[in-house]
């Protein structure tokens, strides 16, 4: 081989070595309990998956397992912690006492204006308070978000006063909402959301606290006809990753994912999962000619409910947390109220 040819080969080899190898595609599994056709997954989960792929320039591909096909809703936290799923949609109403300081956002009759607002507040509390971060130490939270305020959906009896609630079996999430239900005279009945259609249809419960997204996504307007509009409480969720899986990702990929998660993601999920669902739910009720009896609870009656199951439960929550050694509980509540009132 001539000296010229050898030089050319050497040059080609050098150029080849200088070209970086294509980044390996990273595949992540996402376990969800909701139907992919439901409002929340269609308007929050699926767009967020695309945002992650765009932010990582296509390096990360997320495969969503919807409708509890990979993990049952109540098992989600354990599944993420143990690596059955890389990422999971976690509804904290399933696990009373697991993240009790974060439960502050679920205290009844807080001045919540929207899910977008409350979601931003919840993430801010998570970032500010190490004690709240510690509650999530088994997993890696990518974002936290809340519902819009729950109202009452009932099947047979229209609730118009607090007295109407006495003895009614109502599906309510765990944590402070359960204490609210007891204070108001309800019998709190925890049932996974995917089972609620049948539970209402068969009379297992008399009704439920619900946001519009649940009414829309699970077609609850087909089995519940009485709507008592009273802003009772919010529930909250986390989109969490397995800690070991998260730590194994390149640092730049983690940064890219968090660029569409964290506070930005919290507001996006809150708004698009919950705040935007009301109009679509009402449109479906109208289109299907489903019976809808709406009763807006008068201000005086709302104040009556608040007096019994609002501030007294705020104080009870603070005392309970302080008794468990969380001396910052009062400050967490005060910060929550201050941010929500802005």
For 281-303, write each residue's pLDDT tens digit.
999 999 999 999 999 999 999 99
In a domain, 38, yes or no: yes
> How far apart are the C-alpha atoms of 130 and 304, rounded to whole Å?
36
The size of the chain, in residues, is 342
User: Is there a single domain that holds both residue 105 and residue 49?
Assistant: yes
Q: What is the CATH number of the domain that holds 82?
A: 3.40.190.170
Give CA–CA dist 284/282, Å, rounded.
Answer: 5
Spatial separation of the C-alpha atoms in residues 175 and 335, rounded to whole Å: 20
In a domain, 327, yes or no: no
**Range(s) of the domain holding residue 164:** 151-233+290-309
17 against 187, higher pLDDT: 187
Residue 54 shares a structural domain with residue 100: yes
Indicate whether 256 pLDDT > 50: yes
Q: Is residue 31 part of a domain?
A: yes
Q: Does any domain span residue 206?
A: yes
Cα 129 to Cα 122, 133, 238, 333: the distances in Å are 11, 7, 17, 12
**What pLDDT was estimated at residue 1?**
53
Would you place residue 2 in the very low, low, confident or very high pLDDT band (cuts 50, 70, 90)?
low
- Residue 248 neighbours by CB under 8 Å, 6+ apart: none
216 CB burial (10 A radius; 0-12, 13-18, 19+)? buried
**Under a CB-based contact definition with an 8 Å cutoff, are residues 177 and 106 in contact?**
yes
Backbone dihedral angles phi then psi of residue 228, each to the nearest 5 degrees = -105, 110
pLDDT for 15? 46
Give the chain as a 3 state SS string: CCHHHHHHHHHHHHHHHHCCCCCCCEEEEEECCCCCCCHHHHHHHHHHHHHHHHHCCCCEEEEEECCCCCCCHHHHHHHHHHCCCCEEEEEHHHCCCCCCCHHHHHCCCCCCCCHHHHHHHHHHHHHHCHHHHHHCCCCEEEEEEECCCCEEEECCCCCCCHHHHCCCEEECCCCHHHHHHHHCCCEECCCCHHHHHHHHHCCCCCEEEECHHHHHHCCHHHCCCEEEECCCCCCEEEEEECHHHHHHCCHHHHHHHHCCCHHHHHHHHHHHHHHCHHHHHHHHHHHCCCCCEEEECCHHHHHHHHHHHCHHHHHHHHHHHHHCCCCCHHHHHHHHHHHHCC
Task: Tell which residue, 34, 256, 237, 244, has the closest CA to residue 123.
Answer: 237
Of the ranges 46-60, 185-199, 256-270, which one carries the lowest mean pLDDT score? Answer: 185-199
Give the pLDDT score at 231.
93
Instruction: Judge whether 269 lies within some domain.
Output: yes
Q: Is residue 136 part of a domain?
A: yes
* Residue recorded with tokens 């070595």: 17
CA distance 263 to 134: 18
159 and 244 share a domain? no
pTM, two decimal places = 0.87
Residues 6+ apart with CB under 8 A from 187: 167, 168, 169, 170, 181
296 and 214 in a single domain? The answer is yes
Spatial distance between the Cα atoms of 295 and 152, rounded to a whole number of angstroms: 10
CA distance 80 to 70: 11
Beta-strand pair 87-91/236-241:
antiparallel
Q: How many Cβ atoms sit within 10 Å of the Cβ of residue 92?
A: 25
Q: Are residues 305 and 217 in the same domain?
A: yes
Same domain? For 77 and 34 the reply is yes
Looking at the domain assignment, is residue 326 inside a domain? no
pLDDT band of 306, cuts 50, 70, 90: very high
Q: Model confidence over 77-92: pLDDT tens digits? A: 999 999 999 999 999 9
What are 126-181's pLDDT values in tens digits? 999 999 999 999 999 999 999 999 999 999 999 999 999 999 999 998 889 999 99
Q: Say if residue 246 is in the same domain as residue 188.
A: no
**One domain, residues 193 and 302:** yes
Structurally, the chain folds into a number of domains equal to 2
Q: Are residues 108 and 35 part of one domain?
A: yes
Q: Looking at the structure, do residues 37 and 180 belong to the same domain, yes or no?
A: no
Asked if residue 129 and residue 95 are part of one domain, the reply reads: yes
Q: Are residues 99 and 245 in the same domain?
A: yes
Q: Could you give the angle at which helices 46-55 and 251-258 cross, rounded to 10 degrees?
A: 140
The answer as to whether 185 is a domain residue is yes
Domain harbouring 173, CATH code: 3.40.190.10
């Amino acid at each position: 081989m001539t000296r010229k040819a050898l030089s050319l080969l050497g040059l080609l080899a050098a150029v080849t070595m200088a070209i970086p190898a294509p980044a390996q595609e990273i595949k992540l599994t996402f376990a969800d309990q909701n139907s992919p056709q439901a409002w929340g997954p269609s308007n929050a989960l699926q767009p967020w998956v695309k945002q992650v792929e765009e932010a990582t320039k296509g390096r990360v591909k997320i495969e969503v397992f919807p409708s509890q096909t990979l993990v049952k809703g109540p098992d989600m936290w354990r599944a993420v912690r143990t690596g059955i799923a890389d990422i999971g949609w976690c509804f904290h109403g399933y696990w009373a006492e697991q993240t009790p300081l974060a439960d502050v956002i679920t205290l009844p009759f807080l001045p919540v204006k929207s899910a977008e607002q409350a979601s931003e507040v919840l993430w801010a509390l998570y970032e500010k308070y190490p004690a709240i971060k510690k509650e999530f130490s088994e997993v890696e939270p990518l974002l936290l978000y809340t519902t819009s305020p729950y109202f009452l959906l009932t099947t047979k009896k229209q609730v118009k006063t607090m007295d109407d609630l006495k003895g009614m079996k109502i599906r309510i999430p765990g944590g402070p909402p359960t204490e609210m239900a007891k204070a108001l005279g309800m019998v709190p009945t925890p049932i996974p959301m995917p089972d609620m259609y049948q539970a209402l249809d068969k009379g297992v419960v008399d009704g439920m606290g619900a946001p519009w997204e649940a009414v829309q996504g699970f077609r609850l307007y087909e089995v519940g006809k009485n709507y008592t509009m009273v802003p009772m409480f919010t529930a909250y969720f986390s989109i969490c990753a397995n800690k070991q899986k998260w730590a194994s990702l390149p640092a730049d990929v983690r940064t890219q994912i968090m660029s569409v998660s964290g506070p930005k993601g919290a507001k996006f999920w809150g708004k698009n999962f919950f705040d935007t669902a009301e109009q679509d739910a009402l449109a479906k009720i109208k289109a299907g000619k489903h019976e809808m009896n709406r009763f807006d609870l008068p201000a005086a009656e709302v104040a009556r409910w608040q007096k019994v199951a609002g501030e007294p439960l705020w104080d009870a929550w603070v005392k309970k947390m302080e008794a468990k050694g969380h001396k910052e509980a009062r400050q967490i509540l005060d910060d929550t109220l201050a941010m929500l009132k802005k």
